A and B are shown apart, each in its own frame.
Chain A
Amino acid sequence: MKAGFVPGVPLQGLLDAQAPAWRKAPAQVIGLTGTPSALQPTAAVRAEFPDGRIGAVKQVSVSALHNGSELAFRLAWQDASVDTGADGQDDVGFPDAAAILFPGSPGAPLMTMGAPGLPVNAWYWRADEDGRGRQVTAEGLGTTQTVDRDQVHARGRHDNGGWAVVIGRSLRARSAGAVAQLEAGAAASFSVAVWEGSHGERAGIKAIALGPLSGWHELVVDRKA
């Protein structure tokens, strides 16, 4: 898919999923698949989540825009339950969440969240941390770590029975971690994950977008002209 160029619109202006720029951005519906139970890192997780119980959200509508220096994704999906993880809401519930995943180095595998020496980079939004995204890296299942909480911006709104979440970051990031470095006019690989809190989805229990490029989807960041 393509991230269209919207000159002069700052990322802060795009974080509102109802911002006018998004109305003109073409949206692509991407199918989601539950992660395989067998790939969950521990037996307890596999016992609690056999195949068929993972991946409650089946599709997500994705659009992307950039302003030459910042890139934003708008994710929209149907979700009747608003799981914000607010204290006292449901004390055995989990918050809804979504993330964009990039390879942090060429050849990083998607299904295993990277591998030693082959990191992946997630831009992560969670309903109980709305407004403040996380930049996450991983080099294999169970190894995610938050590298910063100020470069990824993410904001969600829930109406008409669904979430619309915008997640964005500068195309190029200053980080010692192995985070994605993107540029206008170039192609990149990405994937999307959605966690349905009311189904107990958290950690590796999620629905992911599997694309044609070794599991990745292609993103073309439009030229600036």
Chain B
Amino acid sequence: MGKRQLAMVMDLNKCLGCHTCTVACKQLWTRDEGMEYMWWNTVNTMPGRGTPRDWEQMGGGFREGEAQPGRLPRRAEFGEAWKFDHEGSYYGGQGDASHLGIKGGSPDWGPNWEEDEGGGKYPNSFHFYMPRICNHCTHPACVEACPRGAVEKREEDGIVTVNEDRCRGYRFCQSACPYKKMYFNHQKKVAQKCIFCFPRIEQGVAPACARQCPGRVRFVGYRDDEAAPIYKLVDKWKVALPLHPEYGTEPNVFYVPPVGPVSYGADGDIDESKPRIPDEYLVSLFGPKALDALVTLKAEREKKRTTGASELMDLLIAYEWKNMFGGFDRSPEAVSVIHWRKKS
């Protein structure tokens, strides 16, 4: 157990699926060779098969403390980065009759391939967005799987990183991670993953995915800082829950489950007694505590509506953007040097 643990809370009631987090991460970290297919941050429309496709069926993690076998995701299951056929459409001799298409074969999967699907049946169809990064777990399956000790959990803040000098591309981390948030660089032949923007963290700057989020979805901070939002949301109000707690890795990314709208009854009237997002679906993602969280969220919403005062709602509304970052609120522009590379 390290000294401290950084954590993130994502409020799924506020995520609008704009992918700004994803693009912020891509711009910063995954533009090098072999990283084309990597999206350390993904946002998926739920319910769905996810990214990589059917990752929840790929195994890994722990059951009653025992490591479970997992399988490697294929690049096609993440979705290959495709190129557009500019030559064929501009210079193919077809004038304006040709439209810009994809070079080579048409892909059948990609990040957030199910963008416009969702679940339920009209008029009770539903969807919500779920961003995912590495969970920087307290009991990280990737760290424990590596036979070379190449995946490390930082003592000072619990961030999980890959030592690329030590990694030999054996990929046991990738099959062991039940969230399939470990990526393999096929050019460099090493594992790569979300680093919780540790070079920014070391300068007091929140991770790019959190700081760039226009929806004020993401809270950042030390897990044990009782004065900061993470502790309040996870431990005090108990409205932020890990995804798939049954995987046994103790994630440090937590989600405020989406309350969603109410249902329409058979007569077309609003049925307040039935949530549009089925309880059992949220329980399948966040465990049975999701129901308690929903009760608290609804009660505090009502309190805020009627009395105007709710600590929980004020926190989630995030009136002051900078207060979401548990002290990691410096601007990257205010920082003279960010050490992008590993300290030697």
Contact = CB atoms under 8 A, between A and B. Distances in A.
A57 to B, nearest CB: 18
Contact of B168 (A44, A141, A203): A203
A7 to B, nearest CB: 38
A165 to B, nearest CB: 19
A160 interface: no
Interface in B171-226: 171-172, 175-176, 184, 186-187, 189
B105 to A, nearest CB: 13
B141 interface: yes
B69 A203 contact: no
Contacts of A40: 147
B175 A203 contact: no
B330 to A, nearest CB: 38
Contact of A47 (B69, B184, B187): B69
A43 B67 contact: yes
Nearest to A87: B186
Given A48-B175, A91-B74, A41 B66 contact: no
Interface string B133-145: 0000000010011
A185 interface: no
Contacts of B13: none
B68 interface: yes
A92 interface: yes
Contact of B147 (A41, A87, A91, A92): A41
Which range contains the number of A residues in contact with the other chain? 20 to 34
Nearest to B166: A145
B147 A43 contact: no
Interface residues of B, number: 30
Interface in A161-204: 202-204
Interface string B154-173: 00000000000000111110
A91 B172 contact: no
B148 interface: yes
A202 B144 CA distance: 17
Contacts of A204: 147
Contacts of A94: 171
Interface in A32-65: 40-48
A46 B176 CA distance: 12
Given A40-B147, A42-B145, A48 B186 contact: no
A88 to B, nearest CB: 8
B241 interface: no
A41 B75 CA distance: 27
A13 interface: no
Interface in B222-254: none
Interface in A89-124: 91-92, 94
A87 B170 contact: no
B159 to A, nearest CB: 21
A-B pairs, top 10 by smallest CB distance, nearest first, are A44-B145, A43-B67, A92-B72, A44-B176, A41-B147, A44-B67, A47-B69, A203-B170, A91-B75, A142-B147
Given A44-B67, A44-B172, A45-B172, 13 more contacts: A40-B147, A41-B147, A43-B67, A43-B145, A44-B60, A45-B145, A47-B67, A85-B189, A92-B74, A144-B168, A202-B171, A203-B147, A204-B147
30 contacts: A40-B147, A42-B67, A42-B146, A42-B147, A43-B66, A43-B67, A43-B145, A44-B60, A44-B70, A44-B141, A44-B145, A44-B175, A45-B145, A45-B172, A48-B172, A87-B187, A91-B184, A92-B73, A92-B74, A94-B171, A141-B147, A143-B148, A144-B148, A202-B170, A202-B171, A203-B147, A203-B168, A203-B170, A203-B172, A204-B147
